[in-house]
Chains A and B, each alone.
Chain A
Amino acid sequence: MIQIRNIHVRAKHVLLHDMNLSLPAHRFICLVGASGSGKTLLLKRLLDRLPDGMSSSGEVISDEPLRRGLDIGYIPQQYTDAFLPFLTMRQMLRDTYRAHGRKMDHPYIDDVLRTLELDPTWLDRYPGELSGGQLQRFAILFAVTLKPRLILADELTTALDPVLTRRLLDWLTEYQHQYGATILFVTHELGPALHYGEQLVLMQDGRIVETGTPQMIEQSRHPFTMSLMQAHRTSPEERKSSCTQSYP
Chain B
Amino acid sequence: MYPVLSVTDLTYQIKDQPILSNISFHVTKKASIGIIGESGSGKTTLGRLILGLLKPTHGLISLHGKAFPSGHRNERRAIQAVFQHPLASFNPEWTVRESILEPFRRHRPILRHFPATSEENLMTALALAVGLEERLFDRLPHQLSGGQIQRAAIARAISIEPDIIVMDEPTTGLDVVSRAQIIELLERLQQTLGVSLVLISHDIDFIRRLCSETLVLRDGRAVDLIDRLESGSAYTQRFVEAGTW
A interface list, Cβ under 8 A from B: 33-36, 131, 133, 155, 158-166, 188-192, 194-195, 227-228, 230-232, 234, 236, 239-240, 242-243, 245, 247-248
CA distance A20 to B181 in the complex (A): 32
Query: Chain A residues near B145 (CB, 8 Å)?
Result: 35-36
Query: B242 contacts A248, CB within 8 Å?
Result: no
Which residues on the B side are within 8 Å of A236 (C-beta)?
209
Q: Complex: how many Å from CA A231 to CA B169? A: 18
Q: A231-B180, A243-B184 are in contact. Are A158 and B173 (CB under 8 A)?
A: yes
**Cα(A19)–Cα(B175), bound, Å:** 22
A188 to B179, CA, bound (A): 10
- The answer, among A159, A160, A230, A245, for a CB contact under 8 Å with B131, is A245
Query: By CB atoms of chain B within 10 A, which of A161, A163, A195, A230 has the most?
Result: A161
User: Could you tell me the distance between the alpha carbons of A232 and B177 in the complex, rounded to whole angstroms?
Assistant: 8
**B204 near A162: Cβ-Cβ < 8 Å:** yes
CA distance A166 to B244 in the complex (A): 10
| Contact residues, B154-195 vs A (CB, 8 A) | 169, 172-181, 183-185, 188, 192
A95 to B85 CA separation, bound complex (whole angstroms): 34
Distance from A122 Cβ to chain B, minimum over Cβ atoms (Å): 14
Interface code B18-50, partner A: CB below 8 Å = 1, 0 otherwise?
Answer: 000000000000000000011110000000000
**CB neighbours of B131 from chain A (8 A):** 245, 247
Q: Can you give 11 A-B contacts (C-beta < 8 A)? A: A133-B39, A158-B173, A159-B202, A164-B39, A190-B176, A231-B180, A234-B205, A239-B180, A239-B184, A247-B131, A247-B188
Complex CA distance for A159 and B202, rounded to whole angstroms: 7
Known interface pairs A35-B175, A227-B177; A247-B128 also in contact (CB < 8 Å): yes
Q: Which residue of B lies closest to A191 (CB)?
A: B245
The interface residues of chain B, by DSSP majority, are classed as helix
A161 adjacent to B38 (CB under 8 Å): yes
Q: Is B208 an interface residue (CB 8 A)?
A: yes
Q: Given the complex of chains A and B, what is the CA–CA distance between A52 and B242 in angstroms?
A: 40
Is the beta-carbon distance between A33 and B175 smaller than 8 angstroms?
A: yes
Chain A min CB distance to B241 (Å): 8
The complex places the Cα of A165 from the Cα of B172 at a distance, in Å, of: 13
Query: Does B40 contact A188, Cβ atoms closer than 8 Å?
Result: no
B176 touches A195 (CB 8 A): no
Identify the closest chain A residue to B130 (Cβ). A247
Contact with B177, one of A34, A155, A158, A191 (Cβ below 8 angstroms):
A34
B238 within 8 A of A: yes
Pairwise interchain contact A34-B39, C-beta atoms closer than 8 A: no
Interchain CB contact under 8 A, A160 and B175: no
Q: How far is the CB of B151 from chain A (nearest CB, A)?
A: 11
Known: A133-B40, A188-B175, A234-B208. A248 touches B184 (CB 8 A): no
- Nearest B residue to A35 via CB reads B146
Q: Which residues of B contact A159 (CB under 8 A)?
A: 84, 169, 172-173, 202
